[in-house]
Structure 1
């Protein structure tokens, strides 16, 4: 995890990151007016704020990739993650940058 406000380095996605992706998948599909049969987190970066911003690289089928930004409130808030941004037309090689 990065220091407060800074964005950490890229890490391989784990079960926790995939769970976050699963929770916002419907919101991503609504935002992009598409349905994805594949929605697999690959890598992520995080930013500690009053909660955590996650910047996640997601494979949405074959060679199609998107980057999503998800805000996870602090645990005591007992709130679900919230989709706050989507970038389309990404490749597997694209770095995950702040957006």
Structure 2
């Protein structure tokens, strides 16, 4: 029987770009709802991704002030609306009280939100 080798396809990046910040900004309201806090500072600083078939799963470390960070789990689906690409972000979870040095690892909690159901 052949050996099966699983290769982890996740990529850790520190070079957060405008696209990752846009994803964070899109889910900021639901994140504040989940945590019960309002963030004046909300800046993506690192992320980890696993892009399956044009969609993406993201773990994102967000600086929220002083020495406080949160981790976000976001799934993004690319759809076509009238022939134009339209991403739909789905917030899967939030981890609070993280530090600059905490690793980005997969986690599960019960918060679910989708930009497709939000009013714009």
Normalising by structure 2, report the TM-score.
Answer: 0.72
Structure 1 residues without counterparts, runs of 5 or longer:
none
Normalising by structure 1, report the TM-score.
Answer: 0.85
Please point out which of 32, 35, 38 is paired with 1:32.
35
Following superposition, which runs of at least 4 residues in structure 1 exceed 4 angstroms of deviation? none
Work out the number of aligned pairs and report it: 96
Structure 2 residues without counterparts, runs of 5 or longer:
1-6, 108-120
Local SS of the residue matching 2:11: coil
Give the 5 Å matches for 1:46-61. Answer: 46-49=49-52, 51-61=55-65
Larger Rg: 2
Local SS of the residue matching 2:62: strand
Partner of 2:71: 67
Q: Greater share of helix residues, 1 or 2?
A: 1
Q: Greater share of strand residues, 1 or 2?
A: 2
Instruction: Point out which structure has higher relative CO (alpha carbons under 8 A, 6+ apart).
Output: 1
